[in-house]
Structures are given as C-alpha cells and as structure tokens.
Chains A and B, each alone.
Chain A
Amino acid sequence: MRQACLNAVYELARADDRVVFIGSDLGVGTLAAFRKEFPERFVMEGVSEANVLGMAAGLAMEGHIVYVNTLAVFLTRRAFEQAAIDIALHNLNVRLIGNGGGLVYAPLGPTHMAIEDVALMRAVPNMAIVAPADAREMQRIMPLVHAQEGPVYIRLAKGNDPIVTSEDEPLAFGRPVCCRSGADALILSTGITLRIALEAAELLAREGAEAGIAHCPTLKPLDRDALAHAMQPVPAVVSIEEHVLSGGLGSIAAEVIAETPWRRPKRFKRLGLPDAYPSRYGSQADLLKFYGLTPEHLAEAVLSLRDNTGSG
C-alpha cells in the first residue's frame, strides 16, 4: 500500500508540477525515480518532523501541493502543533502520508504504533483523513486526495496486505463504500479492518446471519447521512478499527447513531483497541488477535447483538 501511495505521488508529480515531496530520513532509495526525474521537487530532510511540516506549509503557501512522508506517529504525535497551526489553520494543500497506521510496527513497540492518530487528526479542523483497505483502494483514492482543497492525513497499512476491494465499487471522497448488504447487521470498517469484516460476513453467512458492510476509506469528511442511510434497515451495527476506541470510526458511528432519530433503537458495539498502550511485541497479526480484532470475534459480536436485538 505504501508503494502504491508513493507510486501515485510520482505519477501525480509527472502530471502536476505543483507537486513537491518531502521525506524525513526515509529508507534508502525511496522514490528514487521521482528524485532522478524531478530533483528540485524531491526533498529529503533529516529527522526533524516539526521543521518538515513547517517547510511543507511554507511551500504550500506558495502554491505547491506537498506530500510529506514519514512514520504516522511522528507526523501526528511529534509534529501535532505544526500539523494543526502551520498546515490546518491555513487550510493548506499538504498531504501527510503516515507509515504504519495502527499496529503495523508491533515489533518496534508503543513508540512506533499509531493507535490514536485518527483521533488526533480528526480533532484538527480542516484536516481530512483517509485510511484505505489495500493497495488497489490506495491507488484509486490518491487522485481524489490530490484534488482536495486543504490538508489530508493518509493512514498507511503494512504493505502487501491482501487485495480485498474491487475496481467496480464506486469510490467518492468522504463517502462510505457499501460493499455488502445484509438484513441482520451492518459492519463498519476502515483501513485493513475491511478484510476482517469481509471474512466475518462470510462466517456469519454460514451461521445464517446476513451482515452488510459499509467501509470507510475516508474518515473525515464522512457523509453522515450516507452512513445513517446504510444503518437504517438493520437493527444492529458493529464497528471495527485498528485504533483506540475513542475518537475513531467507532466514535463517528456512535455520534451518527446517537444523533439520528431512529424509529427503533439500534444495538451497537465498537471493536477496537483499549485505552492502553500496547504492552506486547510480536507481529501486527499477533496484536490484532490479542485485541480481538479477528473475523471470529467480530462475527461473535454481530451474533451477540443480533440475538439481543429483540429484548432491547
């Protein structure tokens, strides 16, 4: 997915001479073709995220569309004020490409795991957030990101994630993608949790339960009416995200559910990371399992809500 994103930046740079790329001490050879073709628009800075975001703001004020890439935690935690004040306050065309959203950097520990990046960026006025499910969706969403007015935070997954999205699904910035319908429940996913949702829906189908899926590759802005519309026919909603439960997809869903006048109340459950820094190493898959972000657990959560719907 990261490669798809950076390839897209290169292609965008070929088509649009306003594009500038700034990295913060990235891996050797990153975007080598971009650097060779447009050396003046390729900037590799040191480990200095505050300065990198400020520079990006200065370039964007001059009319550039600036793509900044480094680890998600450093873009969102380390340089939060620069993201907010230099970039978002001025509604500048800076795109923050965050490597390792969620538990990707599990072996590297809590300093490198971006478990609250969505909440941080979501709280910043003018900041848009995208979290695609796979490389295909990343490739499809990048032209939409490029066309946005104002800053965008792009949450990257691990890379080599299975391709689970389809070219045929309509994709619009700020709109959920309803990729499966089902009368018993609606699963909300974002980022790589779409794969978990799809697998859970298959498990549920085997149990005779039909779960729909509304996937949110854009978390902000997010068309709340479209989300409410997707929730409308079902009695139960379960959200799943690779992020703390506060401030991300589950919070968005809770807000929509709480503020929509339903004829019958919804049963609702959020799956995500607890209010704690991860205390284990291992792989992203290990930690997803540890925190119950699995198809099996998601399917259980859906069945539990469905089975309790009548009594609620």
Chain B
Amino acid sequence: MAGNECAEQTPPLDSRSILLRKEILRVLEHSRRGHLGAAFSLVEILRVLYDDILHFKSTAPDWPARDRFILSKGHGCLALYVLLAEKGFFPREELERFCKPEGILGGHPDARKIPGVETSTGSLGHGLSAGLGMALHARMANAPHRVFVVLGDGECNEGSVWEAAMSAGKHRLSNLTAIVDYNKMQSYGSTAEVQNLEPFADKWRSFGFAVREVDGHDIAALREVLRAAPFDRDRPSAVICHTLKGKGIALTEGNPAWHHKSRISDDELRSLYDGIEDTPCVKPV
C-alpha cells in the first residue's frame, strides 16, 4: 500500500466520525486556535483505540492494569481531548476552556493536569521512548497490559524516534505498538518534499518491528488491524495508518494552511461548519 492510495478509497465517514469532528469544531469555536489538520487526520485512529482496543477506567485513570496510551504527536490533542471527554475522563465543559488560563487542556497535552494523559507531549520525538520504558516495566512486572504510541509522520524526522525504534526492536517488546498517522503533510508542505520518509514501512521493519499498513480512516479496517496486534509475539508492532490531513472537510483536506491556525475568524468557522455539513455521512460501522 503506497502513497494516498488507500485514503482515496476510504469509505464515507460515519455519523460518529462526523460528530467527533463537530465536537472539535466546537472547541475551536471557543478557543479560535488549534492544530485542526493534525486532529482531523487522527479521529478514526483514536476513536477505534478508545472504542475497541484500549482497556481503561475513566473514573480511575491510574488503574494499574490499564493499557498505556501516548499521543506522541501532541499537537493532535484536539481529537484526544474530545475522546477523553466523551469517555468521561473529565467533564465535556472542560473542552470550552481549551487554552484558557483556568483550563486543564492546553495546545499540547500536559500529564500533570489531564486525567488519562500518561506523559506530556508536544515536543516531537519523545513519546516512543517513554512508551518503551513503560513497556519494559510491564514486561519486568509480568503485567499483561500493553502500550500504544501514536506518532506523526513529520515527527518521524526526529532522530530520537529511530533511537527508540532501534531499542524497541532490540528488546523485542511485543507489548509495544507504534501507530503512525501518515497523512503525508507536515507544517511546511508534503512529507515527500520536506523530508521523504519512504520506504517508510521498510524502515520500521528494518528496525525490528512487525508492520501492517491500513487506511487510517476506515473504521472496520483499523479495528481489524489493531485487534490483530501484536502481529508477532517476538517483535514490537508498527501500524502505518494512511490518512489525509484535515480529513472530513473539503476546505481543510490536504491543506497545509490548516496545520495550525490561530485567530480563527467567524467566517472561517462558518466555512468549517458548512463544510462538515456537506461531508457525505453514513451510519456508524
């Protein structure tokens, strides 16, 4: 599977995916800022993780047997916050205080403040190492919980990602799954132009991971792949999710201008709401 091939064959978003994106727009309505493109490409990945894969207790975020989840691409946090609120980690009203002085939700996730966030991210290239430490602990403690880390593609420019990947391969941590939101667009432009990652799956494979590729907006396919992890009982898993940055609204799809926006105007907000209403929608999968 290469390029945007699978993203182009994506089935239409279902009503739950549309609803989650509307909830992100509601956050933007209050904050007028945020990494919208990065969040929209993540929605289905996080939705499947929180709906179908991760074991957690939102009323007891430190439950020792929980699976550990790290959003290493911390700038995609709008999608995470919406899901954490929906799952009951904190009240939905908290979303209205995104980036506000009195709020707990900042432009990148802060583990000191947000129930359900394992480690603070924002500076790229940190999450996989932290997850590796957590996975090593689980193995030392003979604990069955697993560790999932979502990385961005631009994030994979960081050398520390590959230090961590090399180490995870060495330790044969099958309880660790790296998931890459491969939307092929970073801040300045396309990943092909800024820092080509290909052959991306081969890179992960050569670092000792068992690799699967999937359409990162196809709920059924994501479920199938993530349920199948670990793909090898002797190796960490990597899931390369082919996604579309800004997925869900024609205006934002593949548009680097929507990587991050501040001072979002009323007109822009209206365009976003109109855009999401125009997006074809099917019943939940």
Contacts and interface: CB of A to CB of B under 8 A. Distances in A.
Interface of A: 20, 40-41, 43, 45-46, 48, 50-64, 81-82, 85-86, 89-90
A276 B126 CA distance: 32
Contacts of A64: 137
A57 B166 contact: no
Contacts, number: 92
B132 interface: yes
B228 interface: no
A43 B136 contact: yes
Contacts of A59: 133-134, 136-137
B167 A55 contact: yes
Interface of B: 111-112, 118-120, 123, 125-126, 128-138, 140-141, 159-160, 163-164, 166-167, 170
Given A54-B126, A57-B119, A59-B137, A48 B111 contact: no
Given A54-B132, A58-B119, A86-B130, 10 more contacts: A20-B140, A41-B140, A50-B129, A51-B132, A54-B160, A57-B133, A59-B133, A61-B130, A81-B126, A89-B112
Contacts of A45: 167
12 contacts: A20-B140, A50-B159, A53-B129, A54-B133, A57-B133, A58-B134, A58-B136, A61-B134, A62-B141, A81-B123, A82-B129, A86-B119
Contacts of A55: 129-130, 132-133, 136, 164, 167
A40 B138 CA distance: 12
Nearest to A81: B123
Given A58-B134, A64-B137, A50 B125 contact: yes
Q: Is the interface of B mostly helix, strand, loop or mixed?
A: helix
B219 to A, nearest CB: 30
A188 B267 CA distance: 64
A89 B164 CA distance: 20
B126 A56 contact: no
A58 B125 contact: no
A223 to B, nearest CB: 27
B167 A48 contact: yes
Contacts of A53: 129
A30 B213 CA distance: 41
A40 B137 CA distance: 10
Contacts of B140: 20, 40-41
A57 B130 contact: yes
